[in-house]
Amino acid sequence: LEEEKSALKGKVATLETAATAKETELESLTAQTAKLTRDYLDLETICSGLRDQVFGYELFKEQCKAIQDEQVKVLSDRVVGLDSKLMALALYLDEEFYPCFLTTIAGPSVEALEVSWLQTSYEQPLLHVHQNEENVVTGDTSLSNSLDVVHVYVQKLKESSTSRVPVTDAATTALAISGTAANISSILPVSVANYDMLDAGVHDTAPHSPTIVFEKKDL
């Protein structure tokens, strides 16, 4: 009996030791469970905050989109209004302004262009004298020689007028020469042919030197 009692005491001590170990392990597991519970609660709080932030971001995104759509609509309306105004302005310029403007400047511009063609430049003091009728003198000469010819012709007209010698039925008119030897501002010719008719075949190229046409008269 003593031996059995000692064996039972040994088993009881072993069981108590195992129970103590189990209790210690249980306490450790309980502490871990409490820690995990706290972590879970913290994560739940964080997730709740993130959900609120996501919801707020979605709301803000929708508001921004609505504002952007409204601004785009306003800008589109302004662009449409500007387009209509520009179209109306273009139509007004085409129908009202440009015709009046061109009508106003067409005459002076053409006259200035013709005068610039008739005036001799300093670099090219040559005059073309064409012949398109029977009684017309033709030739290319320098500016000084042309002026000499004009002077002689005027002198002959004066002599004819003084001596009362009859002239042919060609029209007579005064020839006025002004300017210097390098530039002739205007010449009132005895008979000046139409420059467009004389040089119709040359107008597609650069404009040439001016032309003076004289009619022969029997003195």
Residue 130's pLDDT is: 44
HSE-CB of 118 using CA atoms within 13 angstroms: 19
Instruction: Please count the structural domains in the chain.
Output: 2
pLDDT tens digits for 159-198? 655 554 444 433 344 344 434 333 443 343 433 334 444 4
The Cβ of residue 22 has, within 10 Å, a number of other Cβ atoms equal to 10
Between 34 and 135, name the one with better pLDDT: 34
Does residue 208 lie in a domain region? no
For residues 151 and 48, state if they share a domain: no
In one-letter notation, the amino acid at residue 31 is A
For the chain, percent of residues with pLDDT exceeding 90? 26
* 187: β partners: 177
For residues 103 and 190, state if they share a domain: no
| Nearest partner of 209 among 180, 184, 188, judged by Cα | 184
Does residue 214 lie in a domain region? no
Residue 106 DSSP SS3 = helix
Question: 139 φ, ψ to 5°?
Answer: 165, 160
**Domain C-terminal end among 87, 118, 149:** 118
- 216 vs 167: CA distance, rounded Å: 10
Q: Which of 50-54, 116-120, 123-127, 133-137 has the highest mean pLDDT?
A: 50-54
* 129: β partners: 139
Does residue 217 lie in a domain region? no
Does the pTM of the predicted model rise above 0.85?
no
For residues 91 and 184, state if they share a domain: no
Question: 27 φ, ψ to 5°?
Answer: -65, -40
For residues 169 and 67, state if they share a domain: no
Residue 160's pLDDT is: 58
Residue 198's pLDDT is: 40
- 93 vs 87: CA distance, rounded Å: 10
Average pLDDT score over residue span 199-214 = 45
Q: Which domain holds residue 133?
A: 123-198
